[in-house]
Structure 1
Amino acid sequence: MPLRKFERFLISQCKRLHCGLVAGLLLAAPLAHAVSRAAPPRATYANPVDIDYRYNYEQMNRGISYRTGADPAVVRFKGAYYLFQTLADGYWRSTDLVHWRFIQPDRWPFHSEVAPATLVADGKLFLMRASMRPQPLLFSTNPASGHWSFWTRWLPMVPKTTWPGKSILPGRLPSGPWDPGLFQDDDGKVYLYWGSSNVHPLYGIQMNLALDKASEGEGKRVTYPGDPVTLIKLHPAQHGWERFGRNHSNTTIAPYIEGAWMNKHGGHYYLQYAAPGTEYNVYATGVYTSDKPLGPFHYAPYNPIGYKPGGFVQGAGHGSSFEDVHGNWWNTGTSWIGTNWTFERRIGLYPAGFTADGQMWVNTRFGDFPHYMPEHKLKPGESTFTGWMLLSYRKQATASSQIADHPPSLATDENPRTFWVAAKNAPGQTLTVNLGGPRTVRAVQVNYADYKAGRYGDAPDIVTRFRLLGSVDGMHWHTLADLSKSRRGRADAYLPLKHAQTLRYIRYVHIHVGAKHLAIADLRVFGNETGPPPPAPVLVSARRLADTRDAEITWKPVPGAVGYNVRWGLAKGRLFETYQRFADKPTKLKLTSLNKGVRYVVAVEAFDERGVSTLSKTMVLEP
């Protein structure tokens, strides 16, 4: 194929896969495709975030433990990013948002932090944990070293709050702050936001950290100049996404509001909150806006902003929003696992931002597929999606052994709550996936499950060691990745290949995992099959139901499709919401997350192993 014709072909494919940056590079440099072979590969990541999640032991009566992570607070401080989360005996540091190193603090007065809040002020990184009683407020000027000091050993109680275990008297608030959030405004004033309840709202108060009076001693470093202010509460009768239960289906339990986080952008304050409950696929982030840090706040009609009810990773509530070093916005969220315990969870990282007129958005489209980590300021609408498609869904899987009710077929069903379990947790056990034909493979993700784990805290043997092999014919194998000397645990190991390879078989060869059993929830393979992407689906109907918080979306099946993305938003150019649905499910979806009185636009796209279709025609969901 002549050079320019080959370039035009690649550009057309990249545009159809939403890889605009790659297409632009090809146009800018006639030999870019040749040069790229010698250039280092661009960094990619995939959710759940690949960190060494710590073992927790909430179910002591059953003797079961599990790796978990939730309520992530990410902050940029002195050239690095720091990740704090619930139920960890430390925190993580990264310089690129891809590779994270766990840091064990040398001074940690907590049994384990829960729903932590962070604040960068006066050249210090502050850390507060959720609590129902006075707790220390820590700070560090060098968190990379693990060294922390007390700003105050005991935070004074928020005015007008009640001690835990006491009845709430008239004019008093529940004890706290639970699920705290800290924010410093441009004028230097600091604010505390908090609350986690299906009865009480979120609260806020100005908090004086006496940054210019540190020499006066710990006892005088924290005061509250005013009284708490009631900020926001849930309205599930108006906001469909705030209803409790899986797919918002439980009407007997009042939903929870929690996870306050504040950002300021363009002179406006964005108070983020989580609802309706962390133990479901629809755990999401919403936002209220104001022109003052303590309100009054106004509900955003485009809520929820962080929402991921479908796919392998489900749930995107209770996290944090932050800017990276290039000026790109990100949102973190809590994802639902829920196998061993209701609150078994993971962490997700998603691109985020603001439109020119101030609408906040979080992009969870293909949020559990590989994405590029930006190395520059993204342009409006520029996608980070690699275009690497899922090659392993429902593919044939075989294993060296298994126990009853946990066959290898469960390792390709895109469900972290089902998993293959080997008969023995011993070196040499294998799990093999047949992709059904030669495919261009670019990355593999190994997601472990904790089946009757029985571990707690940290130990030298809680490491993940294995090898990944690839083959074209199932007889001749070569190494794709070798973690035989790994020194850390990787519950969700994401392994991009250095070079794309044509393969039909992917094999996991076990060496060690620090658990009682070898259990793998999914062996996920990403890349592409040769050929054009699927055609756009035909959108048949989109109609609001009698309860206008709900709508029914129907489309025609696309032959060969792996799945579909139902996308909706306030306008055709703002389809920021996504519900991913696999093709072995009906091509009809009941959306239950709509706001009453809001007009929506909806469309559907199909995807397969070759790429993503263009969007269907759009339809309007009138209020």
Structure 2
Amino acid sequence: MFSKKYIHSTLVWLLFLNSLIISAQNSNDKLTYCNPVNLNYRFCLDEPSRREAADPVIVNFKGEYFLFASKSGGYWYSSNLVDWNFVTTPDLPIEDYAPAAVVINDEIYFTASTNGDKVPVIYKSAKPKTGRWEVVNSNFPIQNVDPDLFLDDDGRLYLYYGCSNIEPLYAVELDRTTFMPIGEPVACMNADIENNGWERPGDYNERSERPWTEGAWMTKFNGKYYLQYSTPGTEFRSYADGMYVADNPLGPFKLSEYNPFSYRPSGFATGAGHSATFQDNYGNYWHISSTTISVKHKFERRLSLFPVFFNEDGYAYTYTGFGDYPISIPQRKIENEEDYLSGWMLLSYNKKVTASSSLPEYGVEKSVDENIRTYWSAKDGKKGQWLQVDLEDVYTVNAVQLNFAEHTTTILGRDPGIYYQYMLEYSTDGKTWQVLADKTKNKEDAPHDYIVVQNPVKARYVRVKNYHTPSGTFAMSGFRVFGNGSGAKPAAVTTITAERQTDNNCSVKLNWEKIENTTGYNIRYGTAPDKLFLNYQVYGDNHIQINSLSKKQNYYFVVDSFNENGITKGSTISEIK
């Protein structure tokens, strides 16, 4: 027989364990981020006033991640790929485009894009957190536009470079002691718009002029050399990375069967070009990419981070499906795409929005249209301006992303006074409000602020009130609320037709049945039924034309439906010869 004291203590312990389980279920204990990555992007030094960061590189140095990007006034480091610390430096050419970095032994080596009369310089640092660097080679003889430094596992060092709508990408071996070229550069690859639809310019690869071939990056996996390149132009939503493969670091290179390697022309954060591929501390591969806005200036850009898969059979791809929804950072080795998805769905798309005021042509509906190039603006940036979204039902809210549009800003460069202060509130009835996040004392620059609600709440209404805007008006390109409903997922798409265009074999027209109660559709496609690596997200419509195919390959397509309650995989695969 058990004593009453034993039974009582056991019940108390079981109740405690149960409370821990409930607490874990009701809290957001996973590490997530949301593209565009929430960095303190610098305002450019010239007019018009706009932020820019592009052509990124991340290297894993002693278990931490160092991020370099064009025109950023410095660089960042992080221990978890979510929280970034900014470093300024007097030693590096931080106003140059397209930085390159590589880890050799216990040091990071750095160079940047050069052209004209400027002489390339190579630097190194054993303590990059300090911002102190020293010169390794002050007179490099090659104008290495868009450089990439690659250290092979046999200790040999290579440089890949090129940025042109005429010339190919080149590669040359470097001496590890002098950092001077060994031998003559060799041509690696060039554009082929006749056969490669993803290389054709335009937001949706609809144009026919020569593209820019640039942004080389080399990755070695399982004895193969994977050379990625960016195309067709940084200002396009279709900005992508293609892939060539070789058995040797200097080639010859053959076009990969699975292209483009990285592609995201649709959704809120679009563009996935001029990227770097790296491994985290658990062996997972990642892809840090340039994302386009290109409204105030064609070089108005941000950064996005996507998971990458290299397979023992030789194929490689970047997973961009739902690539601007909250993404989980795993704390272990991951094998499946789904393990990166947080499970939090978009709740705010095209929902009812009201505001304290609006400027003509910058209406409230543009804050929830999932288009980073359009935005709502209040009439000014004074304290008290507000924006409110009615989710039209009560949902569980897990996270909010606030993307500030910075309308009529006059800021140039960096300044300690550049930050947003606001109050984020929620309500179930639109009358009684509670605090979701209090940023009224914030002093951190966060233009794409991503707020994870530690204890998820039930809400129908979410409202943001302005307390401080650093310049211009209080404006937002994306008031994005994420979480889940308690209703049913949409039905599966069972009918899909795919018609390849006879006058343009790189193009396909897709149509599928319209499913009720959907937010949108995600098209998965590829060159084999079990290799549907590419993703194309569609809101509202049940048809699309995709112009990024390879002229020489067959393709397979399936359409998934999704809403606030989750994703339903399509059940029909359509093939085009």
Q: TM-score range by the shorter chain?
A: over 0.9
* SS at structure 2 position matched to 1:409: helix
Kindly provide the CA deviation profile for residues 550-589 of structure 1, in whole angstroms up to 9, marking residues without a partner as x.
1111101001111001110122222110110002x3x121
Asked if the contact 2:38/2:447 (under 8 Å) is kept, the reply is yes
Shift in CA distance, 488/108, structure 1 to aligned 2, threshold 3 Å: farther
* SS at structure 1 position matched to 2:44: strand
Kindly provide the CA deviation profile for residues 76-99 of structure 1, in whole angstroms up to 9, marking residues without a partner as x.
101210110011110011000011
Provide the residue aligned with 1:617 in structure 2.
572
CA–CA distance in 1 between the matches of 2:334 and 2:442? 34
The aligned length equals 558
CA–CA distance in 2 between the matches of 1:392 and 1:478? 19
The residue identity in structure 2 corresponding to 1:120 is: V
Provide the residue aligned with 2:99 in structure 1.
116
Shift in CA distance, 317/111, structure 1 to aligned 2, threshold 3 Å: closer
1:377 matched to 2:330 = no
Question: 1:38 deviation in Å?
Answer: 8.1
CA–CA distance in 1 between the matches of 2:194 and 2:92? 42
Provide the residue aligned with 2:157 in structure 1.
190
Provide the residue aligned with 1:302 in structure 2.
258
Provide the residue aligned with 2:49 in structure 1.
65
Matching residue within 122, 125, 134 for 1:149: 134
1:290 matched to 2:215 = no
Matches within 5 A, 1:542-621: 542-546=498-502, 547-583=504-540, 585=541, 587-621=542-576
Matching residue within 119, 130, 138 for 1:134: 119
The residue identity in structure 2 corresponding to 1:119 is: V
CA–CA distance in 1 between the matches of 2:471 and 2:52? 14
Asked if the contact 2:197/2:506 (under 8 Å) is kept, the reply is yes
Matching residue within 34, 47, 70 for 1:86: 70
* SS at structure 1 position matched to 2:204: helix
CA–CA distance in 1 between the matches of 2:453 and 2:340? 18
Task: Provide TM-score, normalisation by structure 2.
Answer: 0.94
Asked if the contact 2:396/2:458 (under 8 Å) is kept, the reply is yes
The residue identity in structure 1 corresponding to 2:511 is: T
Question: 1:518 deviation in Å?
Answer: 1.7
Provide the residue aligned with 2:281 in structure 1.
325
Matching residue within 342, 347, 370 for 2:303: 347
CA–CA distance in 2 between the matches of 1:39 and 1:388? 13
CA–CA distance in 2 between the matches of 1:260 and 1:209? 20
Q: Alignment identity in percent?
A: 36
CA–CA distance in 2 between the matches of 1:39 and 1:605? 28
* SS at structure 2 position matched to 1:593: coil
The residue identity in structure 2 corresponding to 1:55 is: F
The residue identity in structure 1 corresponding to 2:518 is: A
Question: 1:33 deviation in Å?
Answer: 4.7
Cα-Cα RMSD: 1.6
CA–CA distance in 1 between the matches of 2:251 and 2:213? 17
CA–CA distance in 2 between the matches of 1:402 and 1:553? 37
Provide the residue aligned with 1:507 in structure 2.
463
Asked if the contact 1:89/1:113 (under 8 Å) is kept, the reply is no
Question: 1:610 deviation in Å?
Answer: 0.8
Asked if the contact 1:116/1:179 (under 8 Å) is kept, the reply is yes
1:469 matched to 2:425 = yes
Deviates more, 1:393-402 or 1:538-547: 538-547
The residue identity in structure 1 corresponding to 2:514 is: P
Kindly provide the CA deviation profile for residues 291-311 of structure 1, in whole angstroms up to 9, marking residues without a partner as x.
100100000121001100110
1:539 matched to 2:495 = yes
Question: 1:323 deviation in Å?
Answer: 0.4
Matching residue within 381, 396, 409 for 2:352: 396
CA–CA distance in 2 between the matches of 1:381 and 1:411? 29
Asked if the contact 2:122/2:140 (under 8 Å) is kept, the reply is no
CA–CA distance in 1 between the matches of 2:443 and 2:130? 20
Provide the residue aligned with 2:180 in structure 1.
223
In structure 2, the gaps of 5 or more residues are 1-16
Asked if the contact 2:524/2:535 (under 8 Å) is kept, the reply is yes
CA–CA distance in 2 between the matches of 1:104 and 1:289? 37
CA–CA distance in 2 between the matches of 1:284 and 1:355? 21
Provide the residue aligned with 2:268 in structure 1.
312
CA–CA distance in 2 between the matches of 1:278 and 1:541? 32
Kindly provide the CA deviation profile for residues 576-620 of structure 1, in whole angstroms up to 9, marking residues without a partner as x.
10110002x3x1211111101212111000111111112231011
CA–CA distance in 1 between the matches of 2:286 and 2:30? 19
Question: 1:65 deviation in Å?
Answer: 1.0
The residue identity in structure 2 corresponding to 1:188 is: G
In structure 1, the gaps of 5 or more residues are 1-28, 159-175, 211-220
* SS at structure 2 position matched to 1:187: coil
Matching residue within 45, 52, 55 for 2:33: 45
Question: 1:356 deviation in Å?
Answer: 2.4
CA–CA distance in 2 between the matches of 1:367 and 1:321? 16
Deviates more, 1:375-384 or 1:403-412: 375-384
Shift in CA distance, 38/499, structure 1 to aligned 2, threshold 3 Å: closer
CA–CA distance in 2 between the matches of 1:188 and 1:232? 24
Kindly provide the CA deviation profile for residues 110-165 of structure 1, in whole angstroms up to 9, marking residues without a partner as x.
2513110001002110111100131321211111122212223x23212xxxxxxx
Question: 1:539 deviation in Å?
Answer: 2.6
Matching residue within 32, 36, 50 for 2:24: 36
